Amino acid sequence: MTYLATSLVVAWFCVLLFLAGRALNFIRLVYNSLAPGKSWGSGDFFRFYFLSFRFLTDARAVDPSSLTEVGRQYRKRAIRNDRIMLAWALGGFVALVWASSFFKAS
């Protein structure tokens, strides 16, 4: 049973890494989709959260009016990916607590 718990933890971590990489890629695409003649507006782009899995920036901080149509689509995808990643991390925390009982037993 220890192998099952270990493999679940490894799979959870791999998916979390995939989602983190995808979030970074979406943020890059959002920042590269600035509309011509627009500025970023406020300087509040870097939001850090305590125990959060949002890396460096939050896509919700970017003003959608300063983006192209493609940039707005990437912004929506980045926000959705952030929510999925947060739900995956919280759900995985429950799995890690469950798996820790098997690690202690062995």
Distance CA 1, CA 32 (A): 47
pLDDT of residue 97: 80
- Ordered by start, the domain boundaries in the chain are 2-34+52-105
pLDDT at 56 exceeding the cut of 60: no
Residue 95: pLDDT band with limits 50, 70, 90: confident
Read off the pLDDT of each residue in 9-24 and give the average, rounded to a whole number.
91
pLDDT of residue 74: 96
pLDDT of residue 96: 77
pLDDT of residue 7: 85
